[in-house]
A and B are shown apart, each in its own frame.
Chain A
Amino acid sequence: MSDATAATATPDREDAPRSLWRDVWDQFRMHRGAMVGLFVLSTLLIFVLIGPFIWTAEPIRVNPNTAEMFRSRNLPPSWSNPFGTDQVGRDIMARLMLGGKVSLAVGFVAMSVAVFLGTLIGLLSGYFRRLDGALMRLTDLFLSLPLLPLILVLTFLYGPRLKEMFGPNLGTFFILIIAIGLTSWMHVARIVRGQVLAVKEREFVLAARSIGTPARRIITRHILPNVLAPVMVAGALGVANAIITESVVSFLGQGFQSDFSTWGSMLNSAYYNQTYPMQMVWPGLAISLTVLSVNYVGDGLRDALDPRIRGR
């Protein structure tokens, strides 16, 4: 260690503590799948957010002229309708853009709610033995409930009030993310609890206690970063789950109105119009791409957050 003293009182720039997120980003870029996933995901986002400003076809309203409407039904892809038209003559691309905005928002926000709740409950019940019994029985309770009827009851009971407060679409959006979030945190909670039980017995947690780190900072500084990896995976799968659940609820009449488009509701209406399978392919493709790319991004993030994998 003779060069320890030679390495001077003024360490050169690369030795100054670097930002964690810089390291994470550097490693993330090395993960090819994650970069492709990020690219696809941002393309989808640009498509649904900026697309409507460029492609101005009408996504919701049906042409009031019945003869014209009938002539424009179920058209195959063409220059005027790149993805074709649906069973009442609306442009599918415009509907995909509108529906994507809602589906992605519901998927991500509901997943965030579920992951937040699940992580919180998992951390608390894993770390504090006194809370463990009560919180885990609560988790079991939720796991044993039939979830779809529960969501329907929730939306039925509280939907109207929220719709009054925020307007029909925003109100539906809120009630959906709350209902989906409240019914899908249990698996995350169980995974997190199991991990916390393992991590909190490691000696570095004991070391932190001997330093005098209070429990809340032991959790955020030492335990949370070490249980994040499985949470990422669960979260990525949760996005897909939330998108599908939203479509099911909408299909059952408690979500968005049937003329309003989401990817899930487009899938459902196409399912009853099987002579034209392409109408099902587009929203299906969009959902699959979202799920796949979120999965890959989650994978890349998990690797990038692990310093043992993060290469130098």
Chain B
Amino acid sequence: MPEPLVTVDDLKMHFPIYTGVFRRHTGDVKAVDGVSFSILPGETLGLVGESGCGKSTVGRALLRLYEPTAGRVVIDGDDVVSLPPEALRKKRPTMQMVFQDPQASLNPRMTLARIIGEPLDEHTDWPKAKKLERVYELMDQVGLNRRFANRYPHEFSGGQRQRIGIARALALNPKFIVCDEPIAALDVSIQAQVVNLLEDLQEKFGLTYLFISHDLSMVRHIADRVAVMYLGKIAELSPRDALYARPLHPYAEALLSAVNEPDPVRAQSRKRIILKGDVPSPANPPIGCNFCTRCPKVFDRCRVEKPALREVEPDRFVACHLFDNIVAGPTGAPEASEHNQQGVTQ
């Protein structure tokens, strides 16, 4: 088994809350609360979950766009969390990011050539002509006409803007790219183009992706393994096919039951699990399992003890007490008798 390119170990990102006249530190929003995973070179890890569960925060903390509260993030041999500023700057070319909103992630006052060329300005001392040549090369790679080099972002469509963002991320030949909902702001017909472009580029340059999305069918298309997040923690981390065929964690099960089924016959027999209630506040999560307030299969232990992420079947990691007495074996475990209780909670 090859060395993982990215290893995240117990990453925590807490945003402090200050209240009152004296701005006292009264609590933390635990946006990310102890997340661990690793990504192999050339692999795509999908990160899914509902809005506000901390997906984007994981992506940003990974590249140290936020200062993580605790944990280690080893990318290509260096612990990014503890790197001093200048070393971090030198490290930046290996890890890049594609942002969610292509409109907001491009400076409206810079031409396309300057936007794509900015990483080159920062990390190389090439002469102008060589930089321009590289910019043209990148534009070819992402399918942008070279004639657009002088134009400004507002003159492009959403899909083209996302291509600009991807070209900028590629400029320094990174190994690892965090795609932070790169398709969420795009039209469905354009989404496919952008995802295919990302796949082509991965094949061509051997890129490693962390693909953050709430679009489950798109993640199924692009990811090799998928991590399901709920309220700042990973609920389940499984290979894609296994997860989509038979989700283990009750939350993953509920989440995946929401995927639309294109076949109308099968859609009729599809059972949706509808969760009751709201996500608890990340400033004040439950004492036990984070999902215990909404879980259809909740039992007493869930309310007092947080489950740890454990390997319950080969390569399948689940944080749930339901699987505690199941020992991971080469043949896998007999499945606990599961039935989808619609709408019945607690």
Contacts and interface: CB of A to CB of B under 8 A. Distances in A.
Centre residue among A7, A18, A204 by max chain B CB count within 10 A: A204
Contacts of B106: 204, 207
B332 interface: no
B154 interface: yes
A1 B168 CA distance: 19
B122 interface: yes
A212 B122 contact: yes
B145 A7 contact: yes
For the residues of A in contact with B, the DSSP-based class is helix
Contact of A307 (B88, B92, B152): B152
B99 A7 contact: no
Contacts of A17: 111, 113-114, 132, 149-150
A226 B108 CA distance: 8
Nearest to A23: B150
Interface in B71-120: 88-90, 92-93, 96-97, 99-101, 104-111, 113-114, 118-119
Contacts of B101: 203
Centre residue among A18, A202, A306 by max chain B CB count within 10 A: A202
Interface in A170-225: 202-204, 206-214, 217, 221-222, 225
Contacts of B122: 211-213, 217
Q: Which size bracket describes the interface of B in this complex?
A: 35 or more
B123 interface: yes
B65 A204 contact: no
Contacts of A211: 92, 96, 118-119, 122-123, 168
Centre residue among B63, B118, B140 by max chain A CB count within 10 A: B118
B11 interface: no
A15 interface: yes
Contacts of A308: 108, 152, 154
Given A17-B113, A211-B119, A213-B118, A3 B65 contact: no
Given A207-B99, A207-B165, A212-B119, 5 more contacts: A4-B144, A11-B146, A206-B65, A207-B105, A213-B122
Interface of A: 1, 3-5, 7-9, 11, 15, 17-18, 202-204, 206-214, 217, 221-222, 225-226, 305-308, 312
